[in-house]
Amino acid sequence: MNRNKAQEKLQKSQAYANLQRLADWMDRFYVDAIVGLAMPYGIGDLAMAVFSLVYIYFSLVVLHSIPLTLAIINNTLRDIAIGLIPFFIGDILDFFHKSNRQNMTLIEGFVSGDRATIHEVNAKAIQSVVMVMVLVIIIVLQLRMYYLVANTVLNIFSGIGDALLQLFTV
């Protein structure tokens, strides 16, 4: 089967239509932003991120593209990070940041073989790898900081315990 027929078959598939419908509901009708606003403390943002698994599945299993999958993960993580900005600022920004539509645009461009989209996919894939490495470093540093804080607190309480013990043994 030549590339054009494969693209046409894919674009006419029910899975592809479902992806387009999902992008419309989540971003055009603001379901993503409304749920994020209604469910505070990032719960809504994380709940809506579950729907991104559909794009990830499609890009990885149906299209067999690791760079596209990484680009979609990049968009999804960025959407979660924006939604987690405190004091409802992130929830308001979520009305303007349309990650589901961006993911669908990447998939459409990838399927149609658009060179600009494929270039964007590759750039976002590289960004994703770099972001993961940076996040791992941040997590390690945070764990180190938590260890130092916990150790300091334990030493303080140990010192207080020793002082109280001496106070009552006199």
Residues 106 and 71: beta-carbon distance below 8 Å: yes
CB 119 within 8 A of CB 126: no
pLDDT tens by residue, 61-107: 999 999 999 999 988 888 888 888 877 888 899 899 999 999 999 99
Cα-Cα end-to-end distance for the chain: 92
- With 60 as the cut, is the pLDDT of residue 60 above it? yes
Query: What is the pLDDT confidence band of residue 1, given thresholds at 50, 70 and 90?
Result: low
Tell me what pLDDT residue 142 has.
73
Q: pTM of the prediction?
A: 0.73
Residues 12-59 pLDDT 10s: 889 899 999 999 999 989 999 999 889 887 788 889 989 999 999 999
- Per-residue pLDDT tens digits for 118-134: 999 999 999 888 987 88
Q: How many CB atoms lie within 10 A of CB 78?
A: 17
Report the SS3 class of residue 145.
helix
Question: 90, 84 in Cβ contact below 8 A?
Answer: yes
SS3 of residue 95 by DSSP: coil
